[in-house]
Chain A
């Protein structure tokens, strides 16, 4: 489910020819090595691994696949109800998606490993022992999403003051500036969201995007 929406986008329709993506072979190889499942969305290789195999999978990636470069770790809050921005169309299974991007430093291979965590008390093993750089990224994900990283040596706030309450990047966390003044900037194009008369701009020419 996780990344299947991306495959239904226009890009796959535009390239209707049944060609195999040039990265497919590599993605399959990675997935096999870490016992996960691979998807390719817009030239980005994503490999899903179960949460309990998170650390072994990334250790394999580093040691056997040569993905020694730790680029970033973050999360996506998948929520059916959102306080800020627009919700995801259709049904969304409430969950956290934790992503870690690693790459090599020779050929430019890169893979985003991800796993799914439940909304209540999300917790996952820390990657700090595998990639030292995960330290700050996990602290950021901890304060922004409230995800607990077991075994992290110093799991404290990174950006926010120690006394800060809440997890700002969760979709349930309201953005105060938007509560006070909703969405400037689109006034000349269409009605503001939440002002009652939603949607369709009369002057929007050639809307060729599928409204899912």
Chain B
């Protein structure tokens, strides 16, 4: 009897709320909202708690790198491209340099390739750790941030030890990595290789990263609130993802086993044993989980690379003034955010005639109007955060 009355009251209340007229409202999110990772602006038209049309407005950080590249030399451009996705600055340099080397026909020494590969994977680890820190935070869980950032700092310290820069290493040179000899008119040749103890410290850091990843998984994966806010939210089917050019972990979360490290030859990934983690349903949860699993795979790659790093020169012989022969090529790489590529047209001079920069986050967030259609307002933040973008990588 009591139960029936409750039911009746509940029904009458819900029918009231259904008939309650809500007014359509335009809600501006950003460009200064913390969850937008920079300066993304969303113009959301909402009806009550539902957003039925969300349009991203980008360009607040457009720096015109494609135009600037046309008046710069190849070595100068590395300083531009590592500012595209600053969370993994090192990884941005590699495909660009490889594209130039491809046109020049330069074989990069093995040791330099291994160093590039180790640093690329460390950049991936630090980028994914940022995601591990920021994503739960956006969902209201602050604790994972401390675990993730502590380890990221360890990785960045090592990166800084080798390259001199935490975010903008500018460490790649055409033909290898940083010049092997001291520069200037000095007759004393200073060989600059990896800092003493780098490999041992990296091995140590990798163990600690693995521990932290276990901790993060424990903290986040069993959290009821996070599960409720991510499971089944923002489902991205693989065919939609492909047609929008969504790549990287976001694509793999939708169940597509596709990783450019297994396909392209920009770095010797074929020498290493690693798996491609994929998600099942392509929801926010999968996008978080795939990145977590990818950290473990990256650690595996770094460990193998440390064990197998050959000795030898860091640089191939290149002319002092590098003029890249005529030609055009496209080189793409699996960056932490997805497919990063450079379409390079050379006119035989010291700088490119045209450099098209294909950045991952640009395509990754072009999915926003599709994926945010009809979602709840709080889910906008959950979905947006799960795509893991950086505005520098969107606007270029």
Asked if A72 and B245 make an inter-chain contact with CB atoms under 8 angstroms apart, the answer reads yes
User: How many angstroms from the CA of A206 to the CA of B323 in the assembled complex?
Assistant: 11
User: How many angstroms from the CA of A62 to the CA of B366 in the assembled complex?
Assistant: 19
Asked if B321 and A201 make an inter-chain contact with CB atoms under 8 angstroms apart, the answer reads yes
| B103 lies within 8 A of chain A by Cβ | yes
Given A11-B105, A169-B67, is A212 in contact with B348 using a C-beta cutoff of 8 Å?
Answer: yes
Could you tell me how many residues of chain A have their Cβ less than 8 Å away from some Cβ of chain B?
67
Asked if A69 and B245 make an inter-chain contact with CB atoms under 8 angstroms apart, the answer reads yes
User: Shortest distance in angstroms between B11's beta carbon and chain A's nearest beta carbon?
Assistant: 41
Asked if A9 and B330 make an inter-chain contact with CB atoms under 8 angstroms apart, the answer reads no
Asked if B328 and A88 make an inter-chain contact with CB atoms under 8 angstroms apart, the answer reads no
Asked if B67 and A84 make an inter-chain contact with CB atoms under 8 angstroms apart, the answer reads yes
Asked if A133 and B321 make an inter-chain contact with CB atoms under 8 angstroms apart, the answer reads no
User: How many angstroms from the CA of A49 to the CA of B21 in the assembled complex?
Assistant: 54
| A44 lies within 8 A of chain B by Cβ | yes
User: How many angstroms from the CA of A44 to the CA of B246 in the assembled complex?
Assistant: 21
One of A3, A84, A159, A209 near B59 (C-beta < 8 A): A159
User: How many angstroms from the CA of A2 to the CA of B181 in the assembled complex?
Assistant: 41
A85: B residues at CB distance < 8 A: 70-71, 349, 351, 353
Within 8 A of B (CB), among A76-116: 76-77, 84-89, 99, 101, 105-108, 110, 112
One of A108, A168, A189 near B67 (C-beta < 8 A): A168
B326: A residues at CB distance < 8 A: 5-6, 8-9, 89, 212
Asked if A159 and B105 make an inter-chain contact with CB atoms under 8 angstroms apart, the answer reads no
B362: A residues at CB distance < 8 A: 136
User: How many angstroms from the CA of A131 to the CA of B370 in the assembled complex?
Assistant: 13
Assign chain B's interface to a size class: 35 or more
Given A133-B363, A135-B366, A206-B319, is A42 in contact with B245 using a C-beta cutoff of 8 Å?
Answer: no
| B251 lies within 8 A of chain A by Cβ | yes
A6: B residues at CB distance < 8 A: 326-329
| B356 lies within 8 A of chain A by Cβ | yes
B247: A residues at CB distance < 8 A: 69, 71
One of B102, B105, B243, B327 near A68 (C-beta < 8 A): B243
B240: A residues at CB distance < 8 A: 132
Query: Whose C-beta in chain B lies nearest to the C-beta of A130?
Result: B243
Asked if B327 and A71 make an inter-chain contact with CB atoms under 8 angstroms apart, the answer reads no
Asked if A133 and B243 make an inter-chain contact with CB atoms under 8 angstroms apart, the answer reads yes
A157: B residues at CB distance < 8 A: 59
User: How many angstroms from the CA of A145 to the CA of B349 in the assembled complex?
Assistant: 23
User: Shortest distance in angstroms between A188's beta carbon and chain B's nearest beta carbon?
Assistant: 10
User: Shortest distance in angstroms between A12's beta carbon and chain B's nearest beta carbon?
Assistant: 9
User: How many angstroms from the CA of A153 to the CA of B145 in the assembled complex?
Assistant: 41
Query: Whose C-beta in chain A lies nearest to the C-beta of B244?
Result: A133
A161: B residues at CB distance < 8 A: 59
Contact with A along B59-79 (1 / 0, CB 8 A): 100101011101111001000
One of B59, B64, B347 near A87 (C-beta < 8 A): B347
Contact with A along B180-199 (1 / 0, CB 8 A): 00000000000000000000
User: Shortest distance in angstroms between B380's beta carbon and chain A's nearest beta carbon?
Assistant: 19
Asked if B105 and A72 make an inter-chain contact with CB atoms under 8 angstroms apart, the answer reads no
Asked if B103 and A158 make an inter-chain contact with CB atoms under 8 angstroms apart, the answer reads no
| A41 lies within 8 A of chain B by Cβ | yes
User: Shortest distance in angstroms between B244's beta carbon and chain A's nearest beta carbon?
Assistant: 4
| A25 lies within 8 A of chain B by Cβ | no
Given A11-B327, A132-B244, A175-B71, is A71 in contact with B66 using a C-beta cutoff of 8 Å?
Answer: no
Asked if A70 and B243 make an inter-chain contact with CB atoms under 8 angstroms apart, the answer reads yes
State which of A27-35, A118-126, A178-186 sits at the interface with chain B.
A178-186
Within 8 A of A (CB), among B99-128: 102-105
Query: Whose C-beta in chain B lies nearest to the C-beta of A74?
Result: B356
| B177 lies within 8 A of chain A by Cβ | no
| B393 lies within 8 A of chain A by Cβ | no
| A20 lies within 8 A of chain B by Cβ | no
Asked if A88 and B353 make an inter-chain contact with CB atoms under 8 angstroms apart, the answer reads yes
User: Shortest distance in angstroms between A107's beta carbon and chain B's nearest beta carbon?
Assistant: 8
| B242 lies within 8 A of chain A by Cβ | yes
Asked if A189 and B321 make an inter-chain contact with CB atoms under 8 angstroms apart, the answer reads yes
Asked if B347 and A203 make an inter-chain contact with CB atoms under 8 angstroms apart, the answer reads no
User: How many angstroms from the CA of A43 to the CA of B263 in the assembled complex?
Assistant: 13
| B160 lies within 8 A of chain A by Cβ | no
B356: A residues at CB distance < 8 A: 72, 74, 76, 99
Asked if A169 and B66 make an inter-chain contact with CB atoms under 8 angstroms apart, the answer reads yes
One of B64, B325, B370 near A10 (C-beta < 8 A): B325
| B38 lies within 8 A of chain A by Cβ | no
One of B238, B245, B329 near A41 (C-beta < 8 A): B329
User: Shortest distance in angstroms between B290's beta carbon and chain A's nearest beta carbon?
Assistant: 15
B229: A residues at CB distance < 8 A: none
User: How many angstroms from the CA of A9 to the CA of B103 in the assembled complex?
Assistant: 8
User: Shortest distance in angstroms between B337's beta carbon and chain A's nearest beta carbon?
Assistant: 14
User: Shortest distance in angstroms between B71's beta carbon and chain A's nearest beta carbon?
Assistant: 5
Within 8 A of B (CB), among A186-212: 186, 189-190, 201, 203-212
Asked if A108 and B260 make an inter-chain contact with CB atoms under 8 angstroms apart, the answer reads yes
| B220 lies within 8 A of chain A by Cβ | no
Asked if A76 and B354 make an inter-chain contact with CB atoms under 8 angstroms apart, the answer reads yes
Asked if B323 and A76 make an inter-chain contact with CB atoms under 8 angstroms apart, the answer reads no
Query: Whose C-beta in chain A lies nearest to the C-beta of B238?
Result: A105
Report 23 cross-chain contacts, Cβ distance below 8 Å, ordered by A residue: A10-B325, A69-B245, A70-B363, A71-B245, A71-B341, A71-B363, A76-B353, A84-B71, A85-B353, A86-B351, A106-B258, A131-B244, A132-B243, A133-B245, A161-B59, A186-B73, A189-B321, A205-B320, A207-B321, A207-B323, A209-B319, A209-B325, A209-B348
Top 3 closest pairs, chain A to chain B, by CB: A108-B263, A159-B59, A42-B329
